[in-house]
Amino acid sequence: MTALPRGTTVRRDAGIYGYERALRRAGLAPVAGVDEAGRGACAGPLVAAAVILGDSSAGVVPGLADSKLLTPMARERCYAQIVRRAVAWSAVIVSAEECDALGMHVANVEALRRALARLDLRPSYVLTDGFPVDGLGVPGLGVWKGDRVAGCIAAASVIAKVTRDAIMTAMHDEYPDYDFAIHKGYCTREHQQALDEFGPCPQHRRRFVNVRRAGGWVLGFAEVGYDEAALEQHLEGGPL
């Protein structure tokens, strides 16, 4: 799970489909990419997606890139093209309640496994974003910034992001006090202000420090995985 097959190389200038081409040359097609959206949010579900792109020009998605680098309109266009052009794709939703029950890392890995298992076509190789995932049943590779350098991972990131954004936008109608349609459940300062004023709703993840604090629940920072300094950094615009 940590290296490409022997004899397989990917040139730095190979483009976003370079990994898939190299793996196909090694006889490891079809190649699936998996990614998730919403891991760092303190409200709403986690969504994971898996995508297998075609090995011809029909599998090339115009404008495909990491979903975080695309505008909402560009993501919607890419989503439509991926659904039309992909050999197989799937998306799975892990509720906020299940995320709390499993813990975010376990929920994330489980979501990726479920997305892969739901594909109509079994891949021969899997590319994941950032870190390797075991228990997939096929060999795979964790790719650093994979959603920027591997087409199938970028496609999975778009499917996951668009799916989750639609869920959070719809959720806004049920819980209008939190403006989920704007921040999609992530820990923005505006979201925190709403949490402090109205308290958590059923869609908030109880393992997050800021949610527990707003709800008046006590839990040690070490148990939830985020410390107070990291939360404050994120609310100031830094990574979490």
CATH class of 18-170: alpha beta
**Would you state the pLDDT for residue 132?**
87
Element (H, E) at 37: strand 31-37
Structure tokens at 7: 């004899």
State the helix-helix crossing angle for 151-174 and 72-85, rounded to 10 degrees.
120
From first to last of the 240 residues of the chain, give the pLDDT tens digit: 446 665 556 655 558 898 998 999 899 999 999 999 999 999 999 999 999 998 878 789 999 988 989 999 999 999 999 999 999 999 999 999 999 999 999 999 999 999 999 999 999 999 999 888 988 889 999 999 989 999 999 999 999 999 999 999 999 999 999 999 999 999 999 999 999 999 999 999 999 999 999 998 865 544 444 444 444 444 444 433
pTM: 0.86
- Indicate the domain borders of the chain: 18-170, 171-235
62 Cβ contact list (under 8 Å, min separation 6): 77, 78, 81
DSSP 127: E
104 with 94: CB under 8 angstroms?
A: no
**Would you state the pLDDT for residue 233?**
45
Question: CA distances (Å), 27 to each of 20, 22, 125, in order?
Answer: 11, 9, 10
